[in-house]
């Protein structure tokens, strides 16, 4: 009986230890490992690390996901390119501080974090942010990491992750789509910060830019007018001599949120809704043909409200291929109608509420005014346009373009003012055209007002004549001392007779009025 009791206690303790190490542990130390079927949980049970098989795939991958969503929406994958063919995979940490994923059946290394240093007590910890970090367990600094998964994003940007580039080390933080819903290997689409010129965020399909979120204007990216302060997360863009990156942070950790690139190339922000246990897609940019990079070619703007002819040359420019333009092929864009004399006679045409052009070949000075910016552009023959680099308050900073202007679109809301360089003659033509259109509008309005006046005057004359005609008939009737019946007959034909009660005498006969 005593032996049976001890056996029960032994199995209870073994079960407790198993549950503790596989369901509640957030740390891997030397000698420990996470096997297929076990899970690592962050301290507050926000994120979970374990093995999974995506979609219809039979391959096994090591990944991290929100515990609320389970394996349905994986945020990070270790062995994206090298699936494990069976369930013998396990993750451990070695004395050099490297995370190592092996197959137990062959002991082959499937994936490694490739860190090599001497640590007294190397540990791997899954944080509540979803960041898997390697650190010295004896180090009291909570942010002193030897390695972190946040430096190697997959298709998902989580709160606290950076999307950008470290200009000192060259570390590039970018998102890459899965190949398919069944294959987490890097797909064709990448979403990243382009640090050339004035930094901007772009989406590529291979090496081709297909969408440009635009440059940061102090409040949002110029191509994402719908990005607004909200109750779920805050966001910011940092650009200095050491690094350039975009980041968002959750206001409430209990409301999960993420930015993801889908296998089809869509970039969307998602928020978890507890009531329906699913992700709600929050669009941060309008989805239409004007979002396609350089859809209208150079020196043209795209206006989705003018479908199907959404493209229009800027003032002072004309279609490069008029024939193609007529059949709605705007690829070639527009060219100047008149060459720039490149002197102080050049002028600038203002375009309000637009998405600023591609800034990869631009130059910025954040410390000068818009007036000084105009002078700078005017003094440089290669300068094609200028704008404020920051729209906050009344605007500040100077952004100059030194190439053809590409990927402009009308936004109508949260757009920015752009000043495009044109020859003075073109601006004079535009001004005369504007005045001509204004005169034409004035003439049309004047004609309409005159026509209405004539109609009103005609109606007044008609009513006066009708009234006189009725009074003449009354005099005619009264001259024959017509009976009341004649008056009633006349009243039926001319209702206005009711307005003349003084014509009837007490005996019901019409009284003759003196002349």
pLDDT tens, position by position, 457-510: 777 777 777 766 655 554 444 444 444 555 455 555 555 444 444 444 444 444
**Tokens, residue 70:** 């389970």
**Tokens, residue 4:** 């049976």
Mean pLDDT for the stretch of residues 371-398? 96
Confidence grade of residue 449 (pLDDT, cut at 50, 70, 90):
low
Predicted pLDDT of residue 489: 58
Among the residue ranges 102-111, 119-128, 210-219, 505-514, the one predicted with the least confidence is 505-514
Among the residue ranges 103-107, 196-200, 204-208, 258-262, the one predicted with the least confidence is 103-107
Give yes or no for a contact between 97 and 146, defined as CB atoms under 8 angstroms apart: yes
Domain ranges for the chain = 21-150, 153-285, 290-428
Indicate the length of the chain as a whole number: 515
Among the residue ranges 14-23, 211-220, 462-471, 498-507, the one predicted with the least confidence is 14-23
- Mean pLDDT for the chain overall: 85
Predicted pLDDT of residue 117: 78
Predicted pLDDT of residue 416: 95
Cβ-based neighbours of 155, under 8 Å, separated by 6 or more: 175, 176, 177, 178, 184, 187, 260, 261, 262
Beta strands in 4-98 (DSSP E): 27-28, 33-35, 40-41, 47-52, 61-66, 74-77, 89-93
Name the phi and psi angles at 399, rounded to 5. -120, 120
Predicted pLDDT of residue 23: 42
pLDDT of 296-323, one tens digit each? 999 999 999 998 999 999 999 999 999 9
| Positive or negative torsion for Cα 338, 339, 342, 347 | positive
Predicted pLDDT of residue 217: 96
- Give the pairing type, strands 300-302 and 311-313: antiparallel
Predicted pLDDT of residue 115: 81
Q: Write down the pTM of the prediction.
A: 0.80
Higher pLDDT, 387 or 432: 387
Confidence grade of residue 412 (pLDDT, cut at 50, 70, 90):
confident
Mean pLDDT for the stretch of residues 281-285? 75
Confidence grade of residue 284 (pLDDT, cut at 50, 70, 90):
low
Predicted pLDDT of residue 104: 86
Confidence grade of residue 282 (pLDDT, cut at 50, 70, 90):
confident
pLDDT of 151-170, one tens digit each? 999 999 999 999 999 999 99
| Positive or negative torsion for Cα 9, 14, 19, 21 | positive
Question: Strand, helix or coil at 416?
Answer: strand
Predicted pLDDT of residue 288: 87
- If you average pLDDT over each of 149-163, 263-277, 429-443, which comes out highest? 149-163
Predicted pLDDT of residue 481: 44
The CATH code for residues 21-150 is: 2.90.10.10
Predicted pLDDT of residue 15: 44
Predicted pLDDT of residue 431: 54
Ramachandran category for residue 401: left, alpha or beta (phi over 0 → left; psi -120 to 50 → alpha): beta
**H or E element that contains 188:** strand 183-194
pLDDT over threshold 90, residue 261: yes
Predicted pLDDT of residue 143: 84
Predicted pLDDT of residue 70: 87
Predicted pLDDT of residue 174: 98
Mean pLDDT for the stretch of residues 38-66? 96
For residue 302, the Cα-to-chain-centroid distance in whole angstroms is: 16
Predicted pLDDT of residue 55: 94
Predicted pLDDT of residue 428: 59
Confidence grade of residue 31 (pLDDT, cut at 50, 70, 90):
very high
């Amino acid at each position: 009986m005593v032996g049976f009791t001890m056996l029960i206690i032994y199995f209870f303790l073994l079960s407790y230890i198993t549950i503790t190490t596989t369901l509640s542990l957030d740390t891997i130390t030397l000698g420990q490992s996470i096997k297929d079927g076990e899970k690592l949980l962050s301290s507050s049970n926000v994120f979970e690390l374990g093995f999974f098989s995506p979609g219809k795939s039979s391959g096994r991958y090591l990944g991290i996901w929100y515990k609320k969503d389970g394996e349905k929406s994986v945020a990070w994958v270790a062995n994206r390119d090298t699936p494990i063919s069976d369930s013998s995979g396990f993750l451990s940490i070695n004395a050099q501080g490297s995370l190592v994923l092996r197959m137990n059946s062959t002991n082959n290394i499937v994936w490694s974090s490739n860190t090599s240093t001497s640590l007294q007590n190397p540990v791997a910890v899954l944080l509540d942010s979803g960041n898997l970090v390697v650190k010295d367990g004896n180090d009291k600094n909570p942010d002193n990491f030897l390695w972190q998964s946040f430096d190697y994003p997959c298709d998902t940007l989580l709160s606290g992750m950076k999307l950008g580039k470290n200009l000192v080390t060259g570390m590039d933080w970018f998102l890459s789509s899965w190949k398919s819903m069944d294959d987490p290997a890097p797909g064709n689409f990448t979403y990243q910060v382009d640090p050339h010129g004035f930094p901007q965020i772009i989406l590529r399909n291979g090496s081709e830019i297909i969408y440009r979120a635009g440059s940061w204007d102090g409040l949002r990216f110029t191509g994402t007018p719908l990005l607004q302060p909200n109750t779920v997360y805050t966001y910011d863009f940092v650009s200095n001599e050491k690094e350039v990156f975009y980041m968002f942070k959750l206001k409430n950790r209990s409301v999960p949120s993420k930015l993801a690139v889908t296998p089809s190339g869509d970039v969307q922000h998602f928020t978890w809704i507890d009531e329906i246990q699913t992700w709600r897609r929050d669009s941060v940019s309008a989805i239409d043909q004007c979002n396609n990079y350089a859809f209208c070619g150079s020196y043209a703007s795209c206006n989705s409200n003018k479908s199907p002819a959404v493209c229009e040359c800027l003032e002072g420019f004309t279609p490069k291929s008029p024939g193609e333009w007529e059949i709605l092929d705007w690829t070639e864009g527009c060219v100047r109608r008149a060459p720039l004399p490149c002197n102080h006679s050049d002028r600038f045409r203002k375009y309000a509420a637009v998405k600023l052009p591609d800034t990869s070949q631009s130059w910025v000075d954040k410390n000068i005014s818009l007036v000084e910016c105009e002078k700078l552009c005017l003094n440089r023959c290669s300068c094609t346009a200028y704008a404020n680099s920051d729209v906050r308050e009344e605007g500040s900073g100077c952004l100059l373009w030194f190439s053809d202007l590409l990927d402009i679109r009308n936004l109508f809301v949260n757009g920015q003012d752009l000043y495009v360089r044109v020859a003075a003659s073109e601006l004079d033509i535009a001004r005369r055209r504007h005045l001509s259109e204004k005169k034409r509008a004035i003439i049309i309005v004047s004609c309409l007002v005159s026509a209405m006046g004539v109609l009103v005057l005609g109606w007044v004359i008609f009513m006066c004549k009708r009234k006189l005609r009725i009074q003449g008939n009354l005099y005619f009737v009264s001259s024959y001392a017509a009976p009341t019946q004649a008056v009633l007959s006349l009243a039926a034909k001319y209702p206005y007779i009711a307005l003349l009660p003084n014509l009837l005498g007490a005996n019901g006969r019409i009284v003759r009025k003196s002349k």
